[in-house]
Amino acid sequence: MITTTYANHDKKAIHVRNTWAQRCDQYLFISSRDNSTLPAIKLCDTDDRPHLWCKTKHGMRYLFDNYLDHFDWFLKADDDSYVIVDNLRHFLAQHSPQKPLYFGCKLRFKDVVYMSGGAGYVLSQTALKHFIKALDNNTDTKSCRAHIDTGVEDLEMGRCLQNNGVDAGDARDDWAKARFLPFDPLHMVMPNMDINVIAPWFHSYSVYPHKSGPECCSRSLISFHYVPKDMMYLMDFLLYKVDVLK
CA gap 148, 219 in Å, rounded: 40
What is the band of 189 on the pLDDT scale with cuts at 50, 70, 90? confident
What average pLDDT does the chain have? 94
- Segment 76-84 shows an average pLDDT of 98
Mean pLDDT of 189-215: 83
CB contact at 8 A, 53 and 156: yes
Average pLDDT on 101-111 reads 97
Predicted TM-score of the model (pTM) = 0.94
**What would the mean pLDDT of 10-28 be, rounded to a whole number?**
98
Is pLDDT at 68 greater than 90 in this prediction?
yes
Tell me the percentage of the chain whose pLDDT exceeds 90. 81
pLDDT at 174 over 80: yes
Predicted confidence (pLDDT) at residue 192 exceeds the cutoff of 90: no
- For residue 41, the model assigns a pLDDT of 97
Domains of the chain: 2-81+88-172 (3.90.550.50)
Closest CA to 114 of 102, 124, 126: 102
Closest by alpha carbon to 131, among 53, 63, 60, 75?
A: 60
Averaged pLDDT for residues 55-81: 97
